[in-house]
Structure 1
Amino acid sequence: MDKWTPSLVEARLAEAAFVLKRLPEPRRRGYFSTWPEIIHSFGDKVGQKPRPMRVLPSPQAISRMEETLSWTVGLDPVDGKIIWMRAYGERWKTICWTVGLQRSAAHQHWLYGLCVIALRLNRRRFNPNLSKRKVIELARGA
C-alpha cells in the first residue's frame, strides 16, 4: 500500500472483523465422538432450522486479518474498543452505551483512532500532545 488513509484503514478493519466472524469455532483437543454421524430423513428435517453455511476465508484474507490485529495496540483502550465495535458493524447507540460517551464524542474518538493508525502506517511522526482535531486535520491533509 502506497498511502494509507482513514477510509482505507476502516475498510481493512471491517474486512478483518468479517474474517474473524467466519473463522471456525475452536474445539477442545482430545475430545471426539465414536458415534456415527446421524443421517436425518426428510421427515426429521421438517421442523428444524437450517444450519448456516460456513465459507472459510482464504489464506490471504487471514494473513491480512492477522496484520490488522496489531494496529490498535498503542491506542487508548476506549479508542480501540470503539474502532473494533464499528468494524464489527455495531450501531452508534450500542457503542455509546458500552463506552459511556455521547455520539459526537464517540465519533471523534473513532475518527482519531483511524487517523492515528493511518499516520503510523504511513510512518509519519506526529506529536502525541496534539489535540484530536489537529491529528484528524493532519491525517486528512496528508
Structure 2
Amino acid sequence: MAEWTPALVEARLAEAAFVLKRLPEPRRQGYFSTWPAVLHSFGDKVGQEPVPMRVLPSPQAISRMEETLTWTACLEPMDGKIVWMRAHGERWKTICWTVGMQRSAAHQHWLFGLCVISLTLNRRRFNRNLSKQRVIALAGGA
C-alpha cells in the first residue's frame, strides 16, 4: 500500500465491521445437547421463516479485520466510538443521540478520526495540538 487516505481507512473499517457481523457466534465450551436432531415434516415448515445462510469470511479478510481493530487505539474514546459506529453503518441521527453532539460536530470528529488514523498509518508526524481543521487539511480529508 503506497499511501493511506481517509477514504481508504473508511473502506477498511467498513470491511472490518462487515467481517465482524459475519463471524459465527462464540459458543460456550463443555455444553452440548444429547437430544437428537428434530426432523420437520413439510407441514411443520410451511409457516416458518427460512434460516439465514451465514457465509464465513475468508482468512485474509479476518487477518485484515484483526489488523484494523487496533487502529482506533490512537484516537480519543469519543472519536473512536464515532468512527466505529459509522463503520457499522449507523445513521448519523443515532450516532448524534449516542454521543450527545450535533451532526456537524459528530461529522467533524469522524473525519478527524479517519485523518489521524491515516496519518498514523503513513507514519507522518504531526503536532497533537493542531486544530481538527488543520489535521484534516494535513491528511487531505477535506
Contact 2:80/2:113 (CA < 8 Å) preserved in 1? yes
Give the counterpart letter for 1:30 in structure 2: G
Distance of 1:50 and 1:119 partners within structure 2: 46
Contact 2:9/2:114 (CA < 8 Å) preserved in 1? yes
Contact 2:116/2:135 (CA < 8 Å) preserved in 1? yes
Which segments of 5 or more consecutive residues in structure 2 lack a partner in the other structure?
none
Distance of 2:26 and 2:100 partners within structure 1: 32
TM-score in terms of structure 1 length: 0.98
TM-score in terms of structure 2 length: 0.98
Percent of aligned pairs with the same amino acid: 82
Structure 2 residue 59 is the aligned partner of structure 1 residue 59: yes
Q: Note the 1:1-142 alignment, pairs <5 A.
A: 1-140=1-140
Give the counterpart letter for 1:96 in structure 2: C
Distance of 2:42 and 2:8 partners within structure 1: 47
Secondary structure of 2:8 counterpart: helix
Distance of 2:123 and 2:11 partners within structure 1: 19
Distance of 2:56 and 2:42 partners within structure 1: 27
Give the counterpart letter for 1:45 in structure 2: K
Following superposition, the deviation at residue 37 of structure 1 comes to 1.1
Distance of 1:139 and 1:57 partners within structure 2: 31
Distance of 2:32 and 2:44 partners within structure 1: 25
Following superposition, the deviation at residue 70 of structure 1 comes to 0.1
Distance of 1:36 and 1:23 partners within structure 2: 26
Distance of 2:136 and 2:82 partners within structure 1: 16
Following superposition, the deviation at residue 39 of structure 1 comes to 1.4
Following superposition, the deviation at residue 36 of structure 1 comes to 1.4
The CA deviation string for residues 82-128 of structure 1, in whole angstroms up to 9 with x for no partner, is 00000000000000000000000000000000000000000000000
C-alpha RMSD over aligned residues:
0.8
Secondary structure of 2:49 counterpart: coil
Which segments of 5 or more consecutive residues in structure 1 lack a partner in the other structure?
none
The CA deviation string for residues 32-60 of structure 1, in whole angstroms up to 9 with x for no partner, is 01111111111101111111110000000
Give the counterpart letter for 1:16 in structure 2: A
